Amino acid sequence: MPEFLSLSPGAFLFPAAVNSLVLVQDGGVLIVDTGLDDSHARKLLRALDAQQLAPTAILNTHSHADHHGGNATLLKRFANLPIYAPSLEAAIINHPLLEPLYLYGAHPPKALRSKFLLAPASPVQGVEAGRVTLGGVDVELLNMPGHASQMYAVRFGELLYAADALFGPEPLAKHPLTFCVDSAAMKRSAASLLELAGVGLTVPGHGEPTSNLAELVEVNLAAFQRVTDAVLAAAQTPASVDEVLRRVCQALQIEMSNPGAVVLNRSAVSAHLAELAALGRVALTVEGNQLLFGTG
């Protein structure tokens, strides 16, 4: 069973495929992201019990199912636990069908309602960015749009939880086509982390803690730009989003094996195409009843 890793005074990491953080201050116990599902949340609860810690609030950094899928399990035990998220993301966590709905573009077939895309609903309230006290714990919420429409990174003293604004080198290598809904904003958000002073340890949403924030930012920015370059190259001959995606997968040696991976990667490619369109590097045309993106 995974156990807490002590990061700094009052800050613990519950390491998993999606990390959860536990921030403790004066009797307050803030859980940051609750993982994919019931299994993650039950292990998290056991680890909390072992430390005699009872949660006082949850913060979901964004609305992707793998970051709030454990909310329902925590609420079964702590029914009145307040849950916070950025307001736009809160709308999706309250109505989680919105996630597969926007990814697919219509009410999704069953294959796109798996736990990776559709978590149980939980009652969550919006919280503004900036310095806030959640469940008795003082944190600073930093706007990090791009990977999701509205996501927060979290500062707790010298600790930075980057959420999915940054990925560890291993997850990045495994998933070179990083999910995003606004690739230009994703790059700006990652780069903005270089401006932060006094960060000791950085924890990405997926991956291991590092004391070298600048290096992690550079690795991520390079990966994001590689995708933009691959999308631009794939649009040399005008093509539909699906055909651009197919070409990008070929270039980045990505093998998609399930419908969820296709709609997630399709969104990311659409984001990079929109970034390139805003820069005047690709143009949209409708030909033969197809929406095409091309550089010509």
Nearer to Zn ion, 180 or 244 (CB): 180
Q: How far is the CB of 164 from Zn ion (least distance, A)?
A: 4
From the list 6-14, 58-66, 129-137, 240-248, the region that binds Zn ion by CB under 5 A is 58-66
Write the DSSP string, 219-278.
Answer: HHHHHHHHHHHHHHHHTSS-B-HHHHHHHHHHHHT----SHHHHHHHHHHHHHHHHHHHH
Nearer to Zn ion, 78 or 179 (CB): 179
Q: Could you say whether residue 64 binds Zn ion (CB under 5 A)?
A: yes
Binding mask 210-249 for Zn ion (x = CB under 5 A): ----------------------------------------
Q: How far is the CB of 179 from Zn ion (least distance, A)?
A: 6
State both tokens at 184: 């230009």
State both tokens at 273: 């195409």
Nearer to Zn ion, 139 or 163 (CB): 163
Distance CA 240, CA 282 (A): 12
Nearer to Zn ion, 4 or 152 (CB): 152
Nearer to Zn ion, 114 or 295 (CB): 114
Distance CA 179, CA 3 (A): 28
Nearer to Zn ion, 66 or 275 (CB): 66
The SS3 call for residue 65 is helix
Phi, then psi, of 275 in degrees rounded to 5: -60, -45
Q: How far is the CB of 231 from Zn ion (least distance, A)?
A: 20
Q: How far is the CB of 10 from Zn ion (least distance, A)?
A: 25
Nearer to Zn ion, 157 or 260 (CB): 260
Residues 6+ apart with CB under 8 A from 111: 258, 259, 260
Residue 152, H or E segment: strand 152-156
State both tokens at 94: 């309250």
From the list 29-37, 60-68, 231-239, 243-251, the region that binds Zn ion by CB under 5 A is 60-68
Q: How far is the CB of 9 from Zn ion (least distance, A)?
A: 28
Phi, then psi, of 30 in degrees rounded to 5: -100, 125
Strand-pairing partners, residue 113, are none
From the list 156-164, 231-239, 246-254, 271-279, the region that binds Zn ion by CB under 5 A is 156-164
What is the number of residues in the chain? Answer: 296
Distance CA 132, CA 8 (A): 20
Distance CA 239, CA 249 (A): 14
Q: Residue count at the site for Zn ion (CB under 5 A)?
A: 2
Q: How far is the CB of 22 from Zn ion (least distance, A)?
A: 19
The SS3 call for residue 170 is helix
DSSP secondary structure code for residue 150 in this structure: S
From the list 57-65, 169-177, 240-248, 271-279, the region that binds Zn ion by CB under 5 A is 57-65
Q: How far is the CB of 116 from Zn ion (least distance, A)?
A: 11
From the list 22-30, 56-64, 104-112, 152-160, the region that binds Zn ion by CB under 5 A is 56-64
From the list 61-69, 71-79, 87-95, 124-132, the region that binds Zn ion by CB under 5 A is 61-69
Interaction site with Zn ion (CB under 5 A): 64, 164
